[in-house]
Amino acid sequence: MKIFSQELVDKAVSELHIANLAQATIGEVLLVAQYLEQQTGIPFIRMDQGSPGLPVNRLGVEAEKAALDRGVGSQYPAAAGVPELKSAASEFVKAFLDIDISPRSCVPTVGSVAGSFGSFIACTQATKGKDKVLFIDPGFPIQKSQLRVMGVEWKEFDVYNHRGEALRAKLEEMLSEGDVAAIVYSNPNNPAWICLEEQELQIIGELATKHDVIVMEDLAYFCMDFRRDLGHPFEPPFAPTVARYTDNYILMLSSSKIFSYAGQRMALLAISDKLYERSYPALAERYMGTGLFGATLVASILYMITSGCTASTQYAYAEMLRLSVKGEINFVEDTRPYAERAERMKKIFTDNGFHIVYDYDVTQSVGDGFFFTIGYGQMSSGELLKELLYYGVSSISLSTTGSQQQGVRACTSRMREELYEVLQERMEAFHQDHPIE
């Protein structure tokens, strides 16, 4: 039995001026769920927005308060970042990735969203004729929205059928025209939680070098592949990264998920030293400078977007990184509850007729973590999103992420202990109302 009537859902869509619920953005689905909760008082199972669902790291809070007490709020921060954060970032990358990047090439940004926005600009302007971005999908819809703002075109493909060595042929096909400036993907993946394996990262790195393309590797869920014990600084196994296989890379490291510091909007671009120092004549001409990639990105692009990052938050992030390197913060264990939630939520869904859409990496079953993907029978992505809303469950359609598969993305971050029984009851009702032939 449905919890919310079609009439009420249609009313919400109409009053919120949502053009197509089946293709609704994360923000639009969020508004519908909030509307229905407010109108009825019935709580939703919120699987839409990927907002942290764990307590903020208190050591970061204390460091930020201390920085404010020292008076850092009275001065503009340097565009390139405070020295303490840049040094801590360099050490952090070495400790958990075993990659050497100088402090100079570690640049703070106002969240990874600002980092990707600035990087897209720099990459697509660096070489004349290379002005497109290639998405290894599924991916974060906001990044394509950023390109719409810029008027930049992109290419995309769903990696579902191109895992392992098959990735090489697909990438060659997509890069062969020579118009791609950057490749972007997340690892672990938002929305599918698949993880690109070393063989695949090597392929991406080798082809990035061959075709002179910059890889933008989004590590928002850094070390959160809980199938491996990645939380020990300077000890293998190290987190996988394309940085082992090319010098053409920008790593995006966010404080939002690993330290639950999302509200302060703080991230880092860790740029290959060789890329940071590389001179591009097209950048020199456009910005009337030296054309150095790193200097142009910092001073002529990022500074125009945000004028630097909040000083006190930089000190907070620096302290959390520093303590992680010392082993006094184990951010992997701190975020493991997401995996535990995913395991329990997946079982409820699969016990009631659902299937996991992106269910396998190259050599092993996909892990449990911040996201997972579910499908139901022959329902399309849009149909499933709408039907789940009637049963008080919000999600986002996989079609909005560049996926060619049918299903929705589920986020574990807002799940609470008292909601598991509610979810079980609602999905039992869903299954009864939607028998699968």
- Please provide the DSSP assignment of 148-201 as one string: HHHT--EEEEEGGG--TTHHHHHHHHHHTTS-EEEEEEESS-TTT-----HHHH
Contact 155, 114 (CB under 8 A): no
In this prediction, residue 317 carries a pLDDT of 98
In a domain, 1, yes or no: no
Quote the percentage of the chain above a pLDDT of 70: 100
The total number of structural domains in the chain stands at 2
Token pair for 420:
């598991």
pTM for the whole structure: 0.95
Do 138 and 75 share a structural domain?
A: yes
- pLDDT band of residue 22 (cuts 50, 70, 90) is confident
Cβ–Cβ < 8 Å for 43, 422: yes
Residue 407 maps to a domain: yes
> What domain range includes position 40?
6-54+335-433
Q: Say what the pLDDT of residue 9 is.
A: 87
pLDDT at res. 432:
96
Rounded to a whole number of angstroms, the distance between the first and last alpha carbons of the chain is: 19
Query: Could you tell me if residue 354 is inside a domain?
Result: yes
Pair (172, 316) in one structural domain: yes
Residues 20, 65, single domain; the answer is: no
Q: What is the CATH number of the domain that holds 249?
A: 3.40.640.10
Do 304 and 184 share a structural domain? yes
Pairing of strands 393-394, 180-186: unpaired
Cβ atoms of 326 and 77 closer than 8 Å: no
Same domain (yes/no): 410, 261:
no
Q: Are residues 289 and 265 in the same domain?
A: yes
The residue among 269, 293, 325 that closes a domain is: 325
Residue 330 lies in a domain: no
DSSP state of 127: B
One domain for residues 353 and 264: no
Q: For residue 11, is it within any domain?
A: yes
Taking alpha carbons only, the member of 267, 187, 274 closest to residue 224 is 187
pLDDT the model gives residue 306 = 95
Q: How far lies 244's CA from each of 17, 132, 202, 207, 424, in Å?
A: 47, 24, 8, 13, 44
Domain membership of residue 389 (yes or no) is yes
For 16-120, strand residue ranges (E) read 45-46, 106-109
In this structure, is residue 43 part of a structural domain? yes
Report the run of H or E that residue 355 belongs to, with start and end. strand 354-356
384-435 tens-digit pLDDT: 999 999 999 999 999 999 999 999 999 999 999 999 999 999 999 999 999 9
Domain end among 325, 355, 377: 325
Together in a domain, 176 and 318: yes
pLDDT (0 to 100) of residue 437: 77
Q: What is the mean pLDDT of residues 311-329?
A: 98
- Whether 227 and 354 share a structural domain: no
Q: What is the CATH number of the domain that holds 360?
A: 3.90.1150.100
* 10 burial via Cβ count (<10 Å: 0-12, 13-18, 19+): exposed
Same domain, 122 and 22: no
CA distance 213 to 327: 36
**Domain annotation covers residue 279:** yes
Asked whether residue 299 falls in the same domain as residue 373, the answer is: no
Closest to 78 (Cα-Cα) out of 68, 90, 86, 70:
86
Digit-coded pLDDT (tens) for 134-169: 999 999 999 999 999 999 999 999 999 999 999 999
| Residue 196 shares a structural domain with residue 272 | yes
342 vs 50: CA distance, rounded Å: 13
The domain boundary residue, chosen from 297, 325, 353: 325
174-230 pLDDT, tens per residue? 999 999 999 999 999 999 999 999 999 999 999 999 999 999 999 999 999 999 999
Single out the residue of 109, 45, 48 nearest to residue 420, CA to CA: 45
